[in-house]
Chains A and B, each alone.
Chain A
């Protein structure tokens, strides 16, 4: 073979490799958008059922749909965040398309198991499968369906772990190890801050560290749940199980948001024509977030008085401090970038800034609910979905859709319509406020039947949720239409 032929083959391999990366991300996005839309319909149906004006749903079906909505949204949020993160990380390190594809296939198997257990097996213990409820339904669902649900989540976790392992190896190969990927040698060592160190590598290293721990703990609690389902004599401590479940759940959903933020770090500088580089405060924020995302989960257990007071106090304090990196570094950094930048506002830039806003503003109701005194009157009211819908509808999903808009316009600015973003944002804010106001009125979360005085808020939520769905479709349809023509390279 001549040198020319070898070079030609190499370029061809590289092009195929790049194309495969991009096609996989497109596949993740297309499936993700579809699942988001379906789960939004489920969410609207739940609020409409609580409103009792537009829809009548029996409690058994309500709790099944509630379980589906929760599991579906958490799963798709994880996958969408992963796709964004993987796309940008593959610009800096060599990632395996085979592993990424395997993870998608495993996820689809998991989705089939989860949907089957809920719609056929009538499993309805909530996506948090709080032990020992999966085993004690009083005949509503079978043990087999509960096992299928838990096993489905386990398969989903394996899919994520595979990709994280590949990402961790790739970062370690290029940067030495994950702590160097996180930039700790620049934060604590004598090494000067290297502004060319990619922000995406810092974020990815953090996500890998926290979410491998989160998913590993999730696997432990799922296996313990399955063991209890198969053999009730194996009865773990309920408080321990609660710790494991909330550690897993909290870390997993947070890691998804931290994954999607890579879209803001990578794309917003292109729009503002200003650099967003690593600095000591940036690295310190991500280092702190690594610990705080893992340590903050006890704020879910503030009403479990068997917990020692120090744990509850720590839960409150870490809940507050975990908002600081978001408010002081990421959101502030984003606004500094936008201020007097001459940015062109289209769907992509609007969505990314909306995502930053949702993440930052969502900190407020979250940290307030993390205060023990407040939690005593707000815990398990609709305030809780109010705060996490703020993060997810106004924070995480706009980042994903902003990324998709960027990808499908091939990075060309001013090519996407920003009007649907206003519709989406108006619906999202109204929906979140309907939850928060409901919480302030002590309306419980996860109630299939609402008393008459609460129902108007359910109807407001249903209308607002429909607006979010319409906004999503108006944003997503052009994206899906253009997706096959997207050519922006994913790999290096």
Chain B
């Protein structure tokens, strides 16, 4: 997922760069007929606007269906309470099984924290915020066995960076 995001971003930024390089490389020789230059540019801009809007509509529909935040991982997920505080995690259960639908009920006893689950390759697979007065429900179905880490991703004070807990995910029988 993250590699795809980086690749798409780089592609988009390269396109913008290409437009700037094109204009700059063609900037030295002057065309005094700015009316003609701008008329041509407006024609291109119309298509550029249509392209940007079309990409936006496709990307919006593609990334919002199904709605990512409420997409259920199963009808009856196992509920695990995850309580946070400066600077610790208290998980009701620190084990899980591959393919098992789990819903973490994330809360805090003091300040805002971030509940981010890292897979064995050290990439985030899901996250939510832990906010005073609220319980955020995070649906997760682990897809690979091994040691997963929960890191705090909302700055919460002096030992924020060491607020880590392990989740051991085992293969399904």
Contact = CB atoms under 8 A, between A and B. Distances in A.
Interface string B64-83: 10011110000000000000
A312 B97 CA distance: 30
A5 interface: no
B9 interface: yes
Q: Say which size band chain B's interface belongs to.
A: 35 or more
A130 B31 CA distance: 54
Given A305-B137, A372-B69, A63 B16 contact: no
A130 B114 CA distance: 13
Interface in B123-152: 123-129, 131-134, 136-138, 151
Nearest to B34: A274
Given A63-B158, A368-B9, A447-B160, A306 B111 contact: no
A60 interface: yes
A98 interface: no
A324 B153 contact: no
B27 interface: yes
Nearest to B8: A368
Interface in B8-34: 8-9, 12-13, 16-17, 19-20, 23-24, 26-31, 34
A328 interface: yes
Interface residues of A, number: 77
Given A332-B48, A371-B59, A377-B2, A138 B69 contact: no
Interface in A287-333: 302-306, 309, 312-313, 316-317, 320-321, 324, 327-328, 331-332
A239 B134 contact: yes
Given A136-B110, A238-B132, A437-B6, A357 B161 contact: no
Contact of B157 (A137, A303, A309, A442): A137
Contact of B28 (A342, A380, A446, A449): A342
A364 B9 contact: yes
Contact of B127 (A133, A317, A373, A376): A376
Contacts of B23: 335-336, 338-339
A338 B41 CA distance: 12
Given A130-B112, A353-B20, A357-B16, A377 B136 contact: no
B120 interface: no
Nearest to B30: A342
Given A303-B127, A332-B48, A353-B24, A377 B1 contact: yes
Query: SS class of chain A's interface: helix, strand, loop or mixed?
Result: helix
Contacts of A109: none
A165 to B, nearest CB: 34
B69 to A, nearest CB: 6
A340 B27 contact: yes
Contact of B132 (A132, A281, A309): A132
B148 to A, nearest CB: 12
B121 to A, nearest CB: 9
B30 A341 contact: yes
Contacts of B3: 440
Given A368-B5, A376-B126, A437-B6, A140 B158 contact: yes
A336 B59 contact: no
Contact of A328 (B20, B52, B60, B63): B52
B6 A317 contact: no
A462 interface: no
Interface string A336-354: 1011111101000000010
Contacts of A328: 45, 48-49, 52
A361 interface: yes
Nearest to B86: A138
Given A313-B64, A335-B19, A364-B16, A377 B125 contact: yes
6 contacts: A132-B110, A309-B70, A324-B53, A368-B12, A380-B116, A380-B153
Lowest 6 A-B CB distances belong to which pairs? Answer: A342-B30, A364-B12, A440-B6, A340-B31, A335-B23, A336-B41
Given A303-B136, A320-B56, A328-B48, 10 more contacts: A133-B156, A138-B86, A238-B133, A304-B128, A305-B138, A317-B60, A331-B19, A353-B24, A361-B16, A377-B125
